[in-house]
Amino acid sequence: MAEKKKVHATKAHEMAESHKEISVSEFFAKNRHLLGFDSPRKALLMAVKEAVDNSLDACEEARILPDLYIELKQIKEGRFRVVVEDNGPGIIKEQIPKIFGKLLYGGKFHRLRCSRGQQGIGISAVLLYGQLTTGKGMYITSRVGPKHNSNYYELHIDTKKNDPIVDKEQVVDWNKEHGTRIEVELEGQYQKGKQSVDEYIKEIALINPHANVIYKTPLNETMNFPRGVNELPKEAKEIKPHPYGVELGILMRMLQGTDTTTLSNFLSTEFCRVSPKVASEICEKAKLSPRAKPKMVVRDEAEKLYDSIQSTKIIAPPTDCLSPLGEEALLKGLKKEVDAEFYCVITRPPTVYRGNPFQIEIALAYGGGLEADGAVKIMRFANRVPLLYQQGACSSAEAIIDTIWRNYGLSQSKGNLPQGPVALVVHMVSVWVPFTSEAKEAIAHYPEIVKEMKLALQDAGRKMSSYIRKTVKAREQRERVNLFEKYIPELANSLSVLTGEKPDIIEENLNKVLKKGMKDLLAVAEKAEETKIKGDNVAFGEKQDTLGEFEDGD
């Protein structure tokens, strides 16, 4: 027994020896699929995507109309060089190594603002992957203005420390006034078609009409996507957190970290939508002095404050920080991409999950060139970034599956996507998109988000179903009537033989009956046909909030 006891103690000590700290670089090097690098084909896409996201974000933040040059070059079997160059604001010299050579470093993490990047992982993950698969680093050239030098860096990452290592740094000649160019070699696979770099760049151009994109494929084709509009999207405003979205633990940390000196001031400065009056109300309910020092608030008091916030009426966060695509642009994009006979676009009013404003836009296309067999086609976007992978993991898939499409004329079996000639676009705009992974491929299943998507989908479904009823069914009915008319003479002859009545009298009666019963129906069918010809086959969502109006699908 004593022996056995000793064994246990030894085992705990033995197990302790293997324990150590892992750097975030080591973690992601081993789990690179978490960052989206799970196959050579996807890795190539991710490299382009992360660089393009950064370029577009930087241009928009500096209010520059983006000119992007993207080039893929095959070096040898399974190895590519990726080049992405922009005319953005550039990056100051001291920042270059950290931005590209350190994971979890960036400027977008602590702010609430509509942007593509948000985690400070993306571009350094590309370097990490390149280094893992080729042993080579990343080459960066950047210039912040014509009166500044063009700085050139060769970097790799010390994965044990998660820190950049500078292999080379020098000033170079560059015929560009400002901008950034990155070059990286990596293991990849180039393939056209679904989920390809080509498709990604097409969707990027489609959803960013203000960008001018030139793309050179490894097959040496050059694709030009000229700017469609000469205006930048509305500038994304940064907002402060809304009190409802802040958890107790965060509230406690904010209290400790604030520069304000009174609780009342803390509340009205660090949050949005808290006026001094609301701040007083919160303090009063929590039985805390508005003049208390934030740093002195202990856990139990913070919990009272937290509870008091939840029970105080505070207006929703401002939503002018959101810049949705808009119905016109979305429709235009969809029509460009999908050849259908009916289109509709639904824009939900902005709303909030965990204190973060967000908005859902849905577009639906029906019929025409769309394949009638198989599941509906889904295109997903988040803050103007196409999401090509992990459709099944996305809350949009849940929303689509949980909507009862049989009500709207599509066939659907339990737990599956509906079937039919339908394409769906789902776009989420938010100051913070909750992705299910660092690779940012799918939107997490927050109930508020799924609910908004479902309401929009139901709305689109009803519009489609009304179109199907009015037009398609009527057209089918009309075809049936025509067919019947064709057989009336023969039918009349047969009936004449049986009844002895004259065939032309029977024919006349049959025609009368048909005309009478089908009159209204034909009117509907004709009207619908006319509508279609006039190009009126586009339905927009009503602008009012339809929340709670529909109960199917819950």
Site for its own copies in 73-92 (CB under 8 A): 89-92
Asked if 16 touches its own copies (CB under 8 A), the answer is yes
**Is 131 near its own copies (CB under 8 A)?**
yes
Binding to its own copies by residue 95, rule CB under 8 A? Answer: yes
The CA–CA distances, whole Å, from 16 to 24, 161, 168, 473 equal 21, 22, 41, 72
Q: Write the Ramachandran bin of 354: left for phi over 0, alpha for psi from -120 to 50, otherwise beta.
A: left
Does residue number 21 form part of the binding site for its own copies (CB under 8 A)? yes
Instruction: Report the residue number, 89 or 541, with the smaller CB distance to its own copies.
Output: 89
Only one of the segments 207-215, 245-253, 283-291, 314-322 lies at the binding site for its own copies (rule: CB under 8 A); that segment is 245-253
d(CA 304, CA 363): 44
Q: Specify the residue, 248 or 524, whose C-beta has the smaller distance to its own copies.
A: 248
Q: Where are the beta strands (DSSP E) in 148-193?
A: 150-158, 163-172, 179-187
Which of 97, 106, 245, 294 contacts its own copies by CB under 8 A? 106
Helix axes 263-270, 276-285, angle to 10 degrees: 130
Residue 23 binds to its own copies (criterion: CB under 8 A): yes
Residue 166 touching its own copies (CB under 8 A): no
Strands (E), 261-354: 342-347, 351-353
CA 271 to each of CA 240, 266, 274, 304, 399: distance values in angstroms, whole numbers, following the listed order: 5, 8, 6, 17, 31
Stretch that binds its own copies, among 107-115, 224-232, 495-503, 510-518 (CB under 8 A): 107-115
Rounded to the nearest whole angstrom, what is the least distance from the CB of residue 73 to its own copies in the complex? 18
221 CB contacts (<8 Å, ≥6 apart)? none
Which of 51, 114, 206, 252 binds its own copies (CB under 8 A)? It is 252
Min dist CB 220 to its own copies, Å, is 26
* CB nearer its own copies, residue 127 or residue 283: 127
Q: Report the C-alpha gap between 149 and 95 in whole angstroms.
A: 14
Among the listed residues 73, 148, 176, 273, the single contact to its own copies using CB under 8 A: 148
- Is position 416 an interface residue for its own copies (rule: CB under 8 A)? yes
Binding range to its own copies, per CB under 8 A, among 21-29, 205-213, 344-352, 471-479: 21-29
Q: Distances from the Cα of 125 to the Cαs of 101, 107, 137, in angstroms?
A: 9, 16, 12
165 counts as binding its own copies under rule CB under 8 A: no
Judged by CB under 8 A, the residue of 222, 230, 311, 413 near its own copies is 413
Restricted to residues 276-335, the positions that interact with its own copies (CB under 8 A) are 299, 302-303
φ/ψ of residue 262, rounded to 5:
-125, 155
Kindly identify the residues of this chain, within the stretch 418-457, that bind its own copies according to CB under 8 A.
Answer: 419, 434-438, 442, 444-447
Distance CA 96, CA 138 (A): 11
The count of other CB atoms within 10 Å of the CB of residue 518 is 17
Residue list 32-71, contact with its own copies (CB under 8 A) = 33-34, 38-39, 58, 61-62, 64
Question: Can you tell me which of 80, 100, 105, 200 binds its own copies, judged by CB under 8 A?
Answer: 105
23/319 with CB nearer its own copies: 23
Query: Is there binding between residue 30 and its own copies (CB under 8 A)?
Result: yes
CB 243 within 8 A of CB 273: yes
Give the dihedral sign, CA 183/185/186/189.
positive
Q: Which of 65, 69, 74, 111: binder of its own copies (CB under 8 A)? A: 111
Tokens of 207: 């959803």
Q: Minimal distance in Å, beta carbon 522 to its own copies?
A: 35
Radius of gyration of the chain (CA): 30
Q: Residues 405, 414: contact at Cβ < 8 Å?
A: no
**In the block, which residue shows the tokens 């399974």?**
78
Contacting its own copies within 335-394 (CB under 8 A): 373-375, 390-393
Return the number of the residue (38 or 485) whose C-beta is nearest its own copies: 38
Closest contact distance (angstroms) between CB of 538 and its own copies is: 27
Find the binder of its own copies among 94, 173, 231, 259 (CB under 8 A).
Answer: 94
Contacts of 544 (CB under 8 A, 6+ apart): none
